[in-house]
């Protein structure tokens, strides 16, 4: 009698077991929680020179003197990744605003750094992390118009991130990079001339 009851209980429970393994809810939830690394537009390949398109930069992304309230002292750089602007604090409630390209989802960051190195028409050596993600990239590229770092580059602390120019001005205002901040070459040359090594850089990511 006991054996019959166990057999009947097994028949009742078995149909429920496959449902536990086939339920799609868990994978769907996990996917929705993962950050997307898709850029807002396709980036330009290294070596391609689109710098002539600087003239097509929308007016709202061009360098402009604006009223800007902040407690940061003059000479500080503030980067707002949500608005995609870089502000150089001039004092007396005034800042120079530059349109920038920022990191795509999953590669954005915030914090405080200092400019640790400045270079004109820098060579480009992609960091190992970037090579791992994009193994087709060149391991070294000489400075020049087709170089992704553009006309100037300013390293941020000991990180792999930089404020730099670009060979692709059409990406200004977009989220395409691996965490660096890019400006059109005219703007990065202007910024480069105004800030020394040691300049404080506040990156606001909301």
Q: How far apart are CA 183 and CA 161, in angstroms?
A: 14
Whether 205 is a known active-site residue: answer no
Query: Cβ(75)–Cβ(168) under 8 Å?
Result: no
Residue of 163, 130, 133, 166 whose CA lies nearest to 148: 166
Sign of CA dihedral 159, 161, 163, 167: positive
Residue 168, classed as helix, strand or coil, is coil
Query: Which residue of the set 164, 173, 184, 185 is catalytic?
Result: 164
- Both structure tokens of 20: 């536990």
Residue 164 a catalytic site member? yes
For residue 204, the surrounding DSSP H or E stretch is: strand 200-204
Judge whether 103 and 109 are in contact, CB under 8 Å. Answer: yes
Between CA 170 and CA 167 the distance in angstroms is: 9
What DSSP assignment string belongs to 55-83? GG--GGGS-EEEE---SSPTT-EEEETTT
Q: Which of 180, 188, 191, 195 is catalytic?
A: 180
Active-site residue set: 164, 180
């Amino acid at each position: 009698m006991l054996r019959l009851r166990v057999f009947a209980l097994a028949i009742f429970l078995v149909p429920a077991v496959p449902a536990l393994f086939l339920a799609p809810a868990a994978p769907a939830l996990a996917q929705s929680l993962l950050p997307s690394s898709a850029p807002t537009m396709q980036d330009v390949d290294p070596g391609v020179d689109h710098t002539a398109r600087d003239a097509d930069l929308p007016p709202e992304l061009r360098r402009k003197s604006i009223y800007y309230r902040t407690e940061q002292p003059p000479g500080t750089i503030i980067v707002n990744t949500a608005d995609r602007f870089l502000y150089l604090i001039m004092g007396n409630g005034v800042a120079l605003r530059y349109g920038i390209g920022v990191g795509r989802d999953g590669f954005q960051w915030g914090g405080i750094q200092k400019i640790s190195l400045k270079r004109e028409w820098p060579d480009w050596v992609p960091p190992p992390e970037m090579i791992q993600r994009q193994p087709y990239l060149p391991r070294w590229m000489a400075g020049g118009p087709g170089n992704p770092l553009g006309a100037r580059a300013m390293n941020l602390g000991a990180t792999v991130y930089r404020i730099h120019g670009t060979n692709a001005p059409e990406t200004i205002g977009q989220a395409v990079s691996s965490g660096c901040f890019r400006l059109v070459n005219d703007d990065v040359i202007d910024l480069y001339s105004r800030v020394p090594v040691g300049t404080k850089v506040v990156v606001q990511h909301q």
